[in-house]
Amino acid sequence: MFSYRKRLVILCIFATTDAVMVFDLHEILTATMVLFAVVDVVGSLPVLLDLKQKVGSIDSGKVTLVSGGIMIAFMFLGENMLHLIGIDVHSFAIAGSLIIFFLALEMILGMRFYKDDSAATASIVPIAFPLIAGTGTLTTLLSMRAEYRMESIIVAILINLVFVYIVLKNIYRLETLLGPGGINIIRKVFGIILLAIAVKLFTTNAGITLPK
């Protein structure tokens, strides 16, 4: 018979194994990359620097908490809102794929499809919404629910929030390190990734099978 301590160790091992099995590392990595590309906080460095000059210091903690709260709340309540107006998740995912498609074109071609009419009068609201938790991010979150499990998306959100906080705390250092050319390269690389993701979301939810 096992001693009490050995039994406790065995139970902890099984509990840890079950917890790990709940999370799919591949899903988490993919979802994290999708959100990273959509949020594009690194590509938004010029905008962030301009806002910081206009409004003074940026409260990185508040910006991170506000944007994270918006994303998580919309992910849980967004589907119920869609049901109220008679739209299913797959239809919304297709619409989301089109938005992601145009976002990708903006990043790759340097074009401007969306106009930001919000005045930069505060350091939190313009950054947390719509810059970080904007229309593209919220649409992407609901679109991802048709592809990934909720646990994977939540972990991906948390990972991206940590990254957003680090970037906001080190804006000037990153700008000096990357330079205009580095930021432009990052935008174009993630724009191509987003373009491929948009095609996948559209074909999957529209029931189109692409040749392998």
**Cβ atoms 114, 108 nearer than 8 A:** no
| The pair of three-digit structure tokens given for residue 183, joined into one six-digit string | 């930021």
Domain boundaries, the chain: 25-206
- Confidence (pLDDT) at 128: 81
Residue type, 6: K
Quote the pLDDT of residue 124: 63
Joined together, the tokens standing for residue 209 give: 């099978």
pLDDT of residue 18: 44
The pLDDT, as a whole number, for residue 115 is 53
Buried b (16+ CB within 10 A) or exposed e, 67-82: bbebbbebbeebbeee
The whole-angstrom separation of Cα 20 and Cα 145 is 20
Least Cα distance to 94 among 192, 204, 196, 190 occurs for 204
Q: Chunked in runs of 10, what are the mean pLDDT values of the chain (212 residues)?
A: 46 42 79 88 74 72 90 86 79 77 79 53 62 79 85 94 92 79 79 81 79 69
Q: What pLDDT does 9 receive?
A: 41
Cβ contact 120:54 at 8 Å: yes
Residue in 39, 35, 25 with CA at minimum distance from that of residue 149: 25
CB 82 within 8 A of CB 145: no
- Return the pLDDT at 132: 85
